[in-house]
Amino acid sequence: MARHSLRSREGYLLIDHSASPGLEPGFMERIGLYGAAGLGEGRRFETATLTCCHCGGVVPINPMRSRPLPYCAKCDDYVCNMPRCHKYCTPFQKVLDQAEKKGIHHA
């Protein structure tokens, strides 16, 4: 698929509490969303998401992050913060292709 830039593959996450009492501080961290401070009453949170090219997971980008996002030069794409995604380069698309072949062979 043609891609114009790394950011062209960013997704979009909206959590809208404009008309809601919202969430207590720390609630989102307990289920793995960091950097989503300010999800209290009347607040609206928007951020980009990246899809890890190694595990296929979707990760919201912390809007307060100042360090560069983790990146795989071989895949020319973002990776998530999971250690195995930093250590090994096996594109998720390849994992799917291999699994599909395995499925065909075992059908």
Partner 1 sequence: MPKWSFAHEGITLTAHADTTAMTSGGFMALKGGSATQRIDVYEVYLGGLAAASAPTPALLGRSSTLGGTPTAITAPGSNEALDPATAALAAPQVAYFAASTGPQRSTTLAKLALGFNAFGGLVRWVAAPGGEFKMLGNTASLGEINIGAFTGGTPGLMNAHIHYETY
Return the number of the residue (3 or 65) whose C-beta is nearest partner 1.
Answer: 3
Query: Which two structure tokens, joined as six digits, stand for 8?
Result: 């062209």
The minimum distance between CB 63 and partner 1, in angstroms, equals 15
Instruction: Quote the radius of gyration of the chain (alpha carbons, Å).
Output: 17
Rounded Cα–Cα distance for residues 94 and 74 (Å): 13
By beta-carbon proximity to partner 1, the closer residue of 8 and 66 is 8
Query: What one-letter code names the amino acid at 28?
Result: M
> Rule CB under 8 A: which residues touch partner 1?
1, 3, 8-24, 27-28, 30-33, 39, 49-52, 55-58, 60, 80, 92, 96, 99-100, 103-104, 106-107
